[in-house]
Amino acid sequence: MHTHSLLFIIFCIVGCSAEFYVIDDRIGLGREFDGIGGLSGGGATSRLLVNYEEPYRSQILDFLFKPNFGASLHILKVEIGGDAQTTDGTEPSHMRCKDDGNFFRGYEWWLMKEAKKRNPNIKLIGLPWAFPGWIGAGTQWPYFFPNITADYVVTWINGAKQHHNLDIDYIGVLRDALDRAGYTNIGIIAADGDWSVAAAMLEDPYLNDAVEVLGVHYPGTITVKEALLTEKKLWSSEDYSTFNDDIGAGCWARILNQNYVNGRMTSTISWNLIASYYENLSFGGDGLMTADEPWSGHYVVQSPIWMTAHTTQFAQPGWFYLQTVGKLTHGGSYVALTDRKGNLTIVIETMTHKHSQCIRPPLPHFDVSPQIAVFQLKGSFAHLTDLQVWYSKLDFETKNDTLFQRSSPIEVYDGLFALKLDVDEVYTITTVNTGQKGSYPDPPKSCLFPKNYSDDFTITLHSLKPRILLIKPVCLSTSEIAQIMARMRLPYDRWSPNDRTDLSVSCDVLIETPATGGVFLAARVDQGGESVREAKGVFYWIYANGTYKVTNDIGGQRVLAEGQSGTREGVWYTLTLSVKGYFATGMLNGYLLWKNAVVVEPKNGWVALGTLSFEYAQFDNFKVNAE
């Protein structure tokens, strides 16, 4: 197959065109390896995962976190919810008001516990993407109030410990506040952005002392001189963000190696962990695997999971990179890691340019061609006689990939072994013999969203009852469910893009404060998440001043119908919206209010409910019927 024996090596030494690479620890080691991770949130990217029924939900979690099974991640980074839309949806804050403190909202606590259950050594990181409005006292920029911001984050850390017994390992917050709260052992990652904080750290010793890790987003595997001069740990604390097909897998395999080879980054974290949000939202499918059909139980373990396993199952945080890492002569790269107790793991990738482009940044051209690589083990590894081999090939021609396959052990002769490398391959050559390719029986087949769906929004504080809706709550003292924004994709557009989605949706709504923007129920909504403000659809609004409106867009520019409704704040109303072909009809408390509004576009999309701005409203008894 791919590994070659003594005769071959001798032959090569005599004449074939092979290159030699030395793996040696006598010249000292490189940096400490900090692990490979996934990022849940930033935002709402794991939303649909909690809705899966067992056993599928546990199976998915095993593919992500269980050691020696699948991605076997070393790090879970989560969003500290801020009650604001942060890309694909909204995650709830633990402090919606100044005096609030609720550590059971959302699904990140649950996810962290599930990850810890599977791997007690997994490192946890929290990072806020947004803050509730009260923190910035009306400004959009809470960093003007560093103490409040820091206390807010410290409260989250306290809650994690007190209510969930979770120890947070790293955070994005001010060192002072952490120390005051007694969290001297929690590391600070700065600045979760670009490298510019490095220059600031070189000039400001206080800042330099406070920061434990320099974390950058999408570094394109390269670092800057200032970052190296800080002598801090360098991490790619958000990376990948690429559709999880084989090119995504190529991107991920390449950066997992080259973030160290080129940039000396010792951790790489994938945004996102799992594509558990509707594919039509921004960055659809940009997770290590996909689970976006809780109603069917269908999920897909895509190739990026197995690219991850090539590193995560054979090297752990606390291992060290060797100094002997680098590029291969004919393209690709290799890294070597050791636990300093005799174990050695070498990961080799030969991803081609066109099969490994990430979504960003642009990838400068390079060539990769088939090659023979002879590795020579020296120092502590000179005596090794056989090594485990794990192999993947992303086969873009036949589409018949080999993913994380265990091959026969390689025999090492006098410290030498050879590999015949083709393009778009990954090899792990290792002393570690605990690797396993985990599997479960095939999950249920993909199917369309149920034609009938209902939800009474009974949220009990401590439960995680499966539900389909994306929930957007804001601060409200009287009710746990304040503003609920649902963006539900009825996936009819997947198989009949030219057919119109005919359905009827109804919901009880209550305007809490005189909502100048109104409260809506909508169908055929074509945008969500960060693009929600450009959404088109059929929006049925009621206002507290006794009027209603029907618009073709969320911005209310295209009015299809309007008139008197008699609606007031503080009263429950049942809104019903039916769309059939080109026509829409609306009812209020079961009586026809408007009919035959003409809807040309969009033809299909999500059902949704919400308010325009940040007014408070309540929703109940949500029903969809698409027969």
Binding site for ligand NAG (CB under 6 A): 147, 176, 280-282, 284, 341-343, 398, 400, 402, 431-434, 451-452, 493, 516, 518, 526, 543, 545, 547, 625, 627
Segments in 15-145 forming alpha helices (H): 56-65, 108-118
Looking at beta carbons only, is 259 or 308 nearer to ligand NAG? 308
Q: How far is the CB of 471 from ligand NAG (least distance, A)?
A: 20
User: Minimum Å distance from CB 90 to ligand NAG?
Assistant: 17
At closest approach, how far in Å is the CB of 226 from ligand NAG? Answer: 27
Q: What is the Cα gyration radius of the chain?
A: 27
C-alpha–C-alpha distance, residues 200 and 202, integer Å: 5
User: What is the rounded CA–CA span in Å between residue 43 and residue 612?
Assistant: 20
CB of 365 to ligand NAG, least distance (A): 29
Q: Which is nearer to ligand NAG, 259 or 280 (CB)?
A: 280
* Min dist. Cβ of residue 139 to ligand NAG (A): 15
Nearer to ligand NAG, 114 or 286 (CB): 286
Closest to ligand NAG by CB, 164 vs 568, is: 568
Reduced to 3 states, what is the DSSP secondary structure of residue 57?
Answer: helix
Q: Identify the helix (H) or strand (E) that includes residue 255.
A: helix 246-261
* Residue number, 55 or 342, with CB nearest to ligand NAG: 342
Would you say 479 or 625 has its CB closer to ligand NAG? 625
Give least dist CB 607 to ligand NAG, A.
14
Q: Which two tokens stand for residue 171?
A: 């955070």
Find the shortest distance in angstroms from Cβ 359 to ligand NAG.
13
Which residues on neighbouring strands pair with residue 374, listed in sequence order?
A: 20, 418
Q: If you search the block for the tokens 């991640």, which residue do you land on?
A: 73
CA-CA distance, 553 to 444, in Å (whole number)? 36
Q: What size, in residues, is the chain?
A: 627
- Least separation in angstroms between residue 544's CB and ligand NAG is 7
Q: 312: alpha, beta or left, given left = phi > 0 and alpha = psi -120 to 50?
A: alpha
Q: Which is nearer to ligand NAG, 49 or 315 (CB)?
A: 315
Query: Toward ligand NAG, which CB reaches closer, 154 or 198?
Result: 154
347 in Cβ contact with 282 (< 8 Å): no
* Nearest to ligand NAG of 17, 400 (CB atom): 400
Which residues have CB under 8 Å from 575's CB, separation 6+?
506, 507, 508, 509, 521, 540, 542, 586, 587, 588
**Residue number of the CB atom closest to ligand NAG:** 342
Q: In whole angstroms, how close is the CB of 329 to ligand NAG at the nearest point? A: 27
Which residues, including other chains, have CB under 8 Å from residue 536's CB and lie 6 or more apart? 524, 525, 526, 527, 552, 553, 554, 601, 602
Residue with tokens 């059909």: 293
Q: Determine which helix (DSSP H) or strand (DSSP E) holds 512, and give its type and residue range.
A: none
Q: Would you say 409 and 388 are in contact if contact means Cβ atoms under 8 Å apart?
A: yes
CB of 624 to ligand NAG, least distance (A): 10
**Residue among 39 and 315 whose Cβ is closer to ligand NAG:** 315
Q: Which helix (H) or strand (E) holds 593?
A: strand 591-598
Task: Tell me how far apart the alpha carbons of residues 521 and 624 are, in angstroms, rounded to a whole number.
Answer: 11
